[in-house]
Amino acid sequence: MSLLSAASSRAYVVRRPRGPIGRMLEDERWLGLALLAPTIILLGLFVAYPFVKGIELAVTNTTVGQPGHFVGLQNFVALWHDDIFRMAVWNTCLYTVVATTTKLALGLWLALLLNRSFRGKAFMRAFILLPFIIPTVLSTFAWKWMFDPTFSVINYVLLHLHLITVADRINWLGEPVLAMVSVIIVNVWRGVPFFAISLLAGLQTISPELHEAAAIDGARAWARFRHVTWPLLLPVTMVIMLFSVIQTFADFQLVYVLTGGGPANTTQLFATYAYQIGIGTGLLSQGAAISLAIFPILLLVVIVQLVYIRRVETV
Amino acid sequence: MGRLDRRRFLQLSGGVAAVIASGRAPAYAQQTTLHWVRWSDFVPASDTLLKGKITEECQKALGIKLQLETINANDIQARVTSAIQSGNGPDIIFALNNWPQLYSTSLADVSDVAEEIGHEQGGYYPISKQVATVGNKWIGVPWAIGGGLVAYRKSWFDEIGYHTFPDTWEKLQDAGKKLKAKGTPIGQALSHSFGDPPGFWYPWLWSWGGKEVDADGKTVALNSKATLESVERAVPFWNEACDPGGLAWDDSSNNRAFLAGTICCTNNGASIYIEAKRKPDTYQTEKGTPMYKDIRHAPLPKGPGGQYNLPGPFTDMVMQYSKNQKAAKTFLKWVHTKPVFEEWFTSQQGYTDGATRYWEKDKVWSADPVLTPFKNLPRQGRLTGYAGPPGRAAAEVQTKYIIIDMYAKAVQGMKAQDAVNWATGELKSIYSV
């Protein structure tokens, strides 16, 4: 007699749980709650508590070591009149829009290339992830050296190619526009692999038969992309964009390491300014108010994108 | 894992029972460990000394295990804030400039230790006392005083006809313009960093007659004819004579640029000279001679309002949350005794002055005449917040880089009066609280 037939010949015995907890978990409502508990605890500790604490701080005049008292919306009113804050709002929006759209364009291009068959495809796919794997602070320090006003390797190369002279070395991090361009370049460099790999995963779910059918009907490459690939890739793209916008909007480490928000606050973002005021200067309530000011903007962005995703999925 | 035999088991369980019964840990476990956070010193030999010999001596003399952690100076304030808010962290934190004023309510009273050291060592310089006291209470023990002089390449200034360092801003601008044309401009940070940017731009403001507030420490007096002139004069000075990269420099950038021979002078501590002297084969002039022999130090030039420098007092803050306050005070008293502190002071080679007048007589000042000018910095210094005290508001202005950004905005194209108006508005909102 085979093992299989021996096993199947045994009578199936239902064991009733013995303890009170076991019996309680027999009820699906309690079981569901028990299974959700770890997530609820983690979210409560690391998301809800800091968020509520942030709101509490933002409506007081707490400074480091001094509890402070309720001041209502005074911190937000002060922010409204703060030039540096207004500059940080503009910088953050510009940084997010330019970096995210560039990452999408380059990521999509890369994903389409990686979706083709060529020798060393597996290696290239792994290699492309490198900027995403290296810790941000570490890679940003390398970029800081490349953009260094005195020792920039980029300037060194341009100098030796006789494209610039010593007198007009490019002041990557010392000139406002170039400093913003520099931080966007580093953000794009770091973020493109995420877009490329995620979009590649999306591309691989599209059946080749659809492309073949379109090709038989006479559709050329661009028409196939526009009418077959892009509509099917759109839901994935929107989700990736959602993640990227949130991450880029709240970016900190990259700008902190590369420019510290300078020169003269021209690359200051929400997070770096909140850090400078709250942690550096010890004005905790003002720092919290700056951090919290991100929330309504991000909420709006997230709602718009989620509504759009739902619409795309239901069409 | 080794086998635990019956005899060993009885020994261990007996020991644990004895500890429980006595309510005390064994002698080796009772040892106090003091956690001291300091900046990464610009003279690395001093950190080596503190982490090595002085830590060992501390263990022998006091039975205190010293756990010294050195971090980037720009990260110290973040560390202080998180430590105070969590009520946990280092026992002693090393503060620069007037930072102790920002944290005064969270610092232990160390008046007894500070007064005793000051009394024994000829008294503190006023600048050390100002940043480390609130009223009559000492909120920190002054450690030393850092400060800047202009390090310059003597031969390069000789070549353009300046045989002594320019003593007015006009002359320095002229010299800088000539040297910039040769590819070696003045190197000066105009950015967000703790030391070099304020070390130059506050004295610049004062030397044109500008000031942040009146002597009452409340009335903002920045928007003046003198401040406006200082901003207007900063623009051509920067554009004609300085390295534009300074807008993105941190405190170590000018050291690297000077040692690489890309700038002719920079306002800095003695660390550039000390490093060049330590490695004469690495840092050389274009003629192949040791660079340190071509380096001299001079005070910042004078303007119509006078000649100033901004010294950087260093203060050790004993944190109020610390359970080792007594040990921390014992340690600070010990480390400031003349024989122990002298070891550290000698290792600095003139990079810092003592916080008390006693150290003016130290042999370190006669060891190398190039470093001797640093001896007088504490006497000639003025602190931020002038003409008021270097209190909490002044510290806030400094850590928000308002004065620095006023000049940075102007050199980036903002109208001088607009830059002054912007900075005045920021100061008013800080001083009005």
Contacts of B393 (CB under 8 A, 6+ apart): B217, B385, B430, B431, B433
The torsion defined by the Cα of A231, A236, A238 and A240, in degrees rounded to 10, comes to -150
Any bridge partners for residue B145, and if so which?
A: B313, B353
Q: Are residues A87 and A229 in the same domain?
A: yes
Residue B303 burial (CB < 10 Å; 0-12/13-18/19+)? Answer: buried
**3-class secondary-structure state, position B150:** strand
Residue A64 resides in a domain: no
Closest Cα in chain B, distance from residue A177 (Å): 11
Q: Are residues A90 and A220 in the same domain?
A: yes
Spell out the domain ranges in chain B. Answer: 27-146+311-380, 149-310+400-431
pLDDT recorded at residue B11: 57
Out of A66, A171, A275, the one facing B245 most closely (by C-beta) is A171
Residue B25 has pLDDT above 60, yes or no: no
A to B CB pairs, distance under 8 Å: 112
Domain that holds residue A239: 75-314
CA–CA separation, A288 and A54 (whole Å): 5
Chain A residue whose CA is closest to B392: A281
Mean pLDDT (whole number) for B134-161:
95
Rounded to 5 degrees, φ, ψ at A152 are -55, 125
CB contact under 8 A, A172 and B248: yes
Which is it for strands B265-268 and B32-39: parallel, antiparallel or unpaired? unpaired
CA–CA separation, B167 and B187 (whole Å): 17
pLDDT tier, B109 (very low <50, low <70, confident <90, very high otherwise): very high
Residue appearing with tokens 């995210």: A100
Residue B415 has pLDDT above 80, yes or no: yes
CB contact under 8 A, B429 and A78: yes
Out of A65, A172, A277, the one facing B105 most closely (by C-beta) is A65
CA–CA separation, A222 and B389 (whole Å): 70
Q: What is the DSSP code string of A103-148?
A: HHHHHHHHHHHHTS--TTHHHHHHHTTHHHHS-HHHHHHHHHHHT-
CB contact under 8 A, A282 and B103: yes
CB contact under 8 A, A264 and B405: yes
User: Mean pLDDT over all residues of chain B?
Assistant: 91
Chain A residue whose CA is closest to B319: A65
- What confidence tens digit (pLDDT) does each residue in B309-349 have? 999 999 999 999 999 999 999 999 999 999 999 999 999 98
pLDDT recorded at residue B24: 45
**By the 8 A CB rule, do B173 and B240 touch?**
yes
Closest Cα in chain A, distance from residue B312 (Å): 18
**By the 8 A CB rule, do B387 and B205 touch?**
no
Q: Are residues A138 and A281 in the same domain?
A: yes
- Tell me, what's the ipTM? 0.80
Question: Comparing A126 with B161, which gets the higher pLDDT?
Answer: B161
pLDDT recorded at residue B30: 56
Rounded to 5 degrees, φ, ψ at A235 are -60, -45
- With b for 16 or more beta-carbon neighbours within 10 A and e for fewer, the A17-49 pattern comes to eeeeeeeebeeeeeeeeeeeeeeeeeeeeeeee
In one letter, which amino acid is A243? F
Any idea what the CATH number is for the domain that residue A260 is in? 1.10.3720.10
Does the beta carbon of B192 lie under 8 angstroms from any beta carbon of chain A? yes
Quick one: DSSP state of residue B247? G
pLDDT recorded at residue B391: 84
Q: How many residues does chain B have?
A: 433
Chain B residue whose CA is closest to A168: B244
> Residue A120 is encoded by which pair of tokens?
């060393």
Of all residues in chain B, the percent with pLDDT exceeding 70 is 93
- With b for 16 or more beta-carbon neighbours within 10 A and e for fewer, the B119-152 pattern comes to eebeebbebbbbbbbeeeebbbbbbbbbbbbbbb
CB contact under 8 A, B250 and A176: no
Contacts of A264 in chain B (CB under 8 A): 247, 405, 408-409, 412
Chain B residue whose CA is closest to A266: B409
Residue B19 has pLDDT above 50, yes or no: no
Per-window interface: B 162-191 vs A, CB < 8 A: 183, 190-191
Q: Are residues A19 and A145 in the same domain?
A: no
Q: Are residues A136 and A190 in the same domain?
A: yes
Residue B311 burial (CB < 10 Å; 0-12/13-18/19+)? Answer: buried
- What confidence tens digit (pLDDT) does each residue in B5-18 have? 555 554 555 554 54
Q: Are residues A280 and A150 in the same domain?
A: yes
Chain B residue whose CA is closest to A149: B245
Q: Are residues A21 and A127 in the same domain?
A: no
> Residue B361 is encoded by which pair of tokens?
């007589």
pLDDT recorded at residue A164: 85
**By the 8 A CB rule, do B113 and B333 touch?**
yes
pLDDT recorded at residue A315: 63
Residues in chain A with pLDDT values less than 50? 1-3
CA distances from A7 to A3, A13, A14, A15, B403 (A): 6, 13, 16, 17, 83
Kindly report the CATH class assigned to B27-146+311-380: alpha beta
Quick one: DSSP state of residue B359? G
Residue B269 has pLDDT above 80, yes or no: yes
Out of A166, A262, A284, the one facing B248 most closely (by C-beta) is A262
Contacts of A275 in chain B (CB under 8 A): 78
Long-range contacts of range A175-179, CB-CB < 8 Å, 24 or more positions apart? A175/A263, A175/B244, A175/B247, A175/B412, A176/A263, A176/A264, A176/A266, A176/A267, A176/B412, A179/A259, A179/A262, A179/A263, A179/A266, A179/A267, A179/B248
Q: Are residues A229 and A99 in the same domain?
A: yes
Out of B106, B191, B422, the one facing A263 most closely (by C-beta) is B191
Chain A residue whose CA is closest to B84: A65
Of all residues in chain B, the percent with pLDDT exceeding 90 is 82
Please say whether the dihedral angle defined by the alpha carbons of residues B410, B415, B421 and B422, taken in this order, is positive or negative: negative
CA–CA separation, B256 and A152 (whole Å): 13
**Which uninterrupted H or E stretch holds B286?**
none
Does the beta carbon of B293 lie under 8 angstroms from any beta carbon of chain A? no
CB contact under 8 A, B247 and A283: no
Q: Are residues A108 and A226 in the same domain?
A: yes
CB contact under 8 A, B250 and A260: yes
**By the 8 A CB rule, do B103 and B327 touch?**
no
Q: Are residues A46 and A131 in the same domain?
A: no
Q: Are residues A235 and A284 in the same domain?
A: yes
pLDDT recorded at residue A9: 53
Establish whether the linkage from the previous residue to A296 is cis, with ω within 30° of 0. no
Does the beta carbon of B77 lie under 8 angstroms from any beta carbon of chain A? yes
CA distances from B349 to A165, B36, B168 (A): 39, 23, 29
Question: Same CATH fold, B149-310+400-431 and B27-146+311-380?
Answer: yes
CB contact under 8 A, A283 and B193: no
pLDDT recorded at residue A133: 86
Residue B36 has pLDDT above 80, yes or no: yes
Chain A residue whose CA is closest to B185: A167
- Helix and strand counts by DSSP (H, E) for chain A: 17, 0
Out of A65, A265, A279, the one facing B103 most closely (by C-beta) is A65
Out of B102, B244, B253, the one facing A282 most closely (by C-beta) is B102
Which is it for strands B141-146 and B133-134: parallel, antiparallel or unpaired? unpaired
Q: Are residues A142 and A32 in the same domain?
A: no
Residue A8 resides in a domain: no
pLDDT recorded at residue A8: 52
Closest Cα in chain B, distance from residue A66 (Å): 7
Does the beta carbon of B126 lie under 8 angstroms from any beta carbon of chain A? no
Count the domains in chain A.
2
Interface of A with B (CB under 8 A): 64-66, 78, 81, 83, 148-151, 166-167, 169, 171-176, 179, 259-266, 275-284
Residue A67 resides in a domain: no
Does the beta carbon of B256 lie under 8 angstroms from any beta carbon of chain A? yes
Chain B residue whose CA is closest to A82: B426
pLDDT tier, B1 (very low <50, low <70, confident <90, very high otherwise): very low
Residue A1 resides in a domain: no
User: Topology of B149-310+400-431 in CATH?
Assistant: D-Maltodextrin-Binding Protein; domain 2 (3.40.190)
Does the beta carbon of B78 lie under 8 angstroms from any beta carbon of chain A? yes
